[in-house]
Amino acid sequence: MGAAGSKLEKALGDQFPEGERYFGLENFGNTCYCNSVLQALYFCVPFREQLLEYYANNKNIGDAEENLLTCLADLFTQISSQKKKTGVISPKRFVQRLKKQNELFRSYMHQDAHEFLNFLLNELVDILEKEAQASKSDPETSSPSDKLANGPKNGLANGPQKDPLVTWVHRNFQGILTNETRCLRCETVTARDETFFDLSLDIEQNSSITSCLKNFSSTETLNAEDKFFCDKCCSLQEAQKRMKIKKPPHILVIHLKRFKYIEQLGRYKKLSYRVVFPLELKLSNTMEDADSEYSLFAVVVHVGSGPNHGHYVSLVKSHNHWLFFDDENVEMIDESVVQTFFGSAQEYSSNTDHGYILFYESLGTGNKS
């Protein structure tokens, strides 16, 4: 542990970023799904900073009861306040809380990192919304930081949400999709907005994220069994449907659907497809004027050939260095190593380390605030 830490410190030398900490996370028996995502979130700097700031402002209120938010904030505080620059930390309280909260994560079996990320972000939002409601009824304790009004630009114009409280979690991860359906009989376009914290993309062999995103937004025809009920025609009609990104998120999380249910097999199968992801990315299928540009800062990698077993590690970019996190171990890697996690060009390959969740941060300043 000490030796590994000093090795990383030596590798970074005088380039070790001021004030930054690189700590491995102890594994409590198949908790790598959790560790890999926690590292990606820790090095999501705006998320980390806003979590720590929120926690600092609300420490006294939250004193009484422990929840996933306080446990996560505790863990991040613990890491960032370490005297040593590198080492290993135990996320024991967080993992215990997680298992208490959700029975699905209670077993020692292999879990899905994307399920965990999704659960965690929704849970954080729930906690923040409950606290905001509590503080509404009790104005004395309201904190200004979590009640930032939602500007006219990112307002959920015709969304189904009645109470669009925009928390700092939303401000980091939330984007808005518009689901446009055009009735082929009367040509009426029905648009429905949906919010998202991440995009789950179908993948194809030897493709790119750019191509998967294009397919995500490509036009789909609804016909035969799958017709669309047109309000104007008052009947089921053939229609064309497409998804457009109305508001790109500040942090773009892309989940590759590597685990696919194969009907003939009656079970899930891991797709080891080679899907290349660039270090810089633009979303051009948005409804905004400028093409929003993103930079890759974290990759959660699934290691293994099947869906029911395996391991998770993460790659993280911090201060222009790439780091490899494998539970307790932290190593510096060259940027070019990232491309060894694209997947396999052939079905049967010895390479089983595949990028699974990609984290991109917007380079533009317009999306924050």
Q: Does 260 bind another protein (CB under 8 A)?
A: yes
For residue 233, the partner it binds in another protein, Zn ion, none, with Cβ less than 5 to 8 A by kind, is: Zn ion
Q: Which is nearest to 198 in space by CA: 161, 252, 159, 160?
A: 252
Q: Is 233 among the catalytic positions?
A: no
Catalytic residue among 32, 44, 183, 212: 32
C-alpha span between 161 and 212 (Å, rounded): 28
Contact 257, 365 (CB under 8 A): no
Residues contacting residue 89 through CB under 8 Å, at least 6 positions apart? 23, 24, 25, 26, 75, 78, 79, 82
Q: Is 309 among the catalytic positions?
A: no
Q: HSE, CB side, 13 Å, CA atoms: give it for residue 115.
A: 10
**Shortest distance in whole angstroms from residue 150 CB to another protein:** 17
C-alpha span between 307 and 287 (Å, rounded): 36
Rank residues 64 and 290 by Cβ distance to another protein and give the closer one. Answer: 290
For residue 285, the partner it binds in Zn ion, another protein, none, with Cβ less than 5 to 8 A by kind, is: another protein
Q: Does 288 bind another protein (CB under 8 A)?
A: no
Contact residues for Zn ion, defined by CB under 5 A: 183, 185-186, 230, 232-233
* Alpha-carbon torsion angle 116, 122, 124, 125, nearest 10: 170
Count of residues of this chain found to bind another protein when the rule CB under 8 A is applied: 72
Contact 194, 177 (CB under 8 A): yes
Residue 100, φ and ψ in degrees, nearest 5? -65, -40
Residue carrying structure tokens 């939002």: 125
* Choices 47-55, 69-77, 138-146, 268-276; region in contact with another protein by CB under 8 A: 268-276
By CB under 8 A, the residues from 74 to 133 that bind another protein are 104, 109-112, 114-115, 118, 121-122
Among 220, 238, 288, 331, binds another protein (CB under 8 A): 220
Catalytic residue among 170, 255, 311, 321: 311
Q: Does 197 bind another protein (CB under 8 A)?
A: yes
For residue 183, the partner it binds in Zn ion, another protein, none, with Cβ less than 5 to 8 A by kind, is: Zn ion
Q: Residue 126 carries which side chain, given as an amino acid letter?
A: D
Among 42, 216, 312, 324, binds another protein (CB under 8 A): 216
Among 26, 180, 194, 238, binds another protein (CB under 8 A): 194
**Shortest distance in whole angstroms from residue 197 CB to another protein:** 4
Sign, CA torsion 39/304/103/172? positive
Residue carrying structure tokens 């114009």: 157
Rank residues 21 and 170 by Cβ distance to another protein and give the closer one. Answer: 170
Q: Does 202 bind another protein (CB under 8 A)?
A: yes
Residues forming the active site? 32, 311
